[in-house]
Structure 1
């Protein structure tokens, strides 16, 4: 990809920020059912210096109905996108029915690590391609420009990743890395994320993330992944905002699509 093509592909982050490290704050599981709290989170992030973030939007969250049929929700997303936020396709249904004869490893990942939401964990190519292209087309018809795909819980089969690439997605992310699907590059970048379903999960998350944040402070890309329920737990939310306030002094808040664009330009692509 030429430099001209790269700038056409995505808007470049401010040149003055090129010498700084970056932070991507992503808000996951965005759907009409949680629009109110999601909007509050976006406003709170702005108050703490994060002017843009990546919004991971579920096309039909838990089969509750197409997100794009809710005009108030779509208008809200379009306004955010116009302000520089990014709209990312996040699965399709965001749920995975239990399978017969699952291995212990499968059960751990799909029932304990995530609560039956690993939709793309073992999805075959054809079905993955169908769901991703359907989401892409629905978002496009609603005036939303989605260039990235992130699987629920970052559980993405090899076949589903190939489907995302063939569907025209420019990138995906996993728990430990960001993947440029066009260039074939992978960037090590562990995300900070919380599990808040149980008291013990919240406490372990807070302890582990405090250590993880210190470990990641020297890395060029800091990723903080937020889910709407995080906001309802004061101790979790205080830690999230404290990390953001500490990081924003030396980092530029950006989106995944803009960060990928800059990496391509740095490589002369």
Structure 2
């Protein structure tokens, strides 16, 4: 059976209001589990431990069968200024939030351990890590290999840890910061969805800014409804990976 994975990025106290209406609409469709990518201290001004309200909501989502994953630590590129044109392009045009793009192994490991420690203190199960903007340095990859986590993600694949075994999982996402970006994103996303219509799994990677514009928010809701009508089964990332492992074991 084909599946889809609904993934909400950049989950933090200041972004919860962006997602509230959309999540209510998703819940009205029936049981659609969500993978929430949680930022422990969004832009160094949103420590999750200080916001009991959001923690309670996320615990309620866990009880519904959702998954919480670690999404960076600060979700902010706080490294030294770009020094090459390519670096400037990636870190100032593509994104300002590639927190793990240039980190050496030691600081990457420290931030991973801080985030994992937060989940442990809150009693939340943790299986996966997703770097902001899916950008990871070699040092981050080395730190992830012995982190004990089960998976990480790129734009086009999930990666089983510790050996980074690639699992094809095409992702649909928007860049919705401006009207022209939203227009282009709709065309690109529709084309990508059509290209992967027969794929065993498709990921829907939503961001808070998508929810701030009716044009993009409505697109995601329509796509979600269509996938349900097409018979795709909604799963969290970890549940889909476990399903694949079970299927492989059964045929071995």
**TM-score bin (small chain):** over 0.9
Query: What is the aligned partner in structure 1 of residue 65 from structure 2?
Result: 84
Is the counterpart of residue 72 in structure 1 residue 53 in structure 2? yes
Query: 1:61-94 CA deviation, whole Å, 9 max, x = no partner?
Result: 0001321221111111111011101000000000
| Inter-partner Cα distance in structure 2 for 1:261 and 1:35 | 28
| Structure 2: runs of 5 or more not aligned | none
| Structure 1: runs of 5 or more not aligned | 1-19
> Mean Cα displacement is larger for which, 45-54 or 67-76?
45-54
Once the two structures are TM-superposed, the CA of residue 104 in structure 1 deviates from its matched residue by 1.8
| Inter-partner Cα distance in structure 1 for 2:211 and 2:126 | 25
Query: What is the aligned partner in structure 2 of residue 5 from structure 1?
Result: none
| Inter-partner Cα distance in structure 2 for 1:101 and 1:197 | 22
| Inter-partner Cα distance in structure 2 for 1:22 and 1:113 | 29
Structure 1 residues 30 and 176 mapped into 2: Cα distance closer, same or farther (>3 Å)?
Answer: same
Count residues in correspondence. Answer: 249
Asked if the contact 2:144/2:162 (under 8 Å) is kept, the reply is no
Structure 2 counterparts to residues 94-109 of structure 1, below 5 A = 94-97=75-78, 99-100=80-81, 102-109=83-90
Asked if the contact 1:213/1:243 (under 8 Å) is kept, the reply is no
Higher relative contact order (CA 8 A, sep 6+): 1
**Match for 1:34 among 15, 18, 26?**
15
Once the two structures are TM-superposed, the CA of residue 221 in structure 1 deviates from its matched residue by 0.6
Structure 1 residues 101 and 257 mapped into 2: Cα distance closer, same or farther (>3 Å)?
Answer: closer
| Inter-partner Cα distance in structure 2 for 1:231 and 1:63 | 23
| Inter-partner Cα distance in structure 2 for 1:61 and 1:156 | 18
Aligned-residue Cα RMSD (Å) equals 1.6
Structure 1 residues 120 and 259 mapped into 2: Cα distance closer, same or farther (>3 Å)?
Answer: same
Structure 2 counterparts to residues 12-27 of structure 1, below 5 A = 20-27=1-8
Query: What is the aligned partner in structure 1 of residue 139 from structure 2?
Result: 159
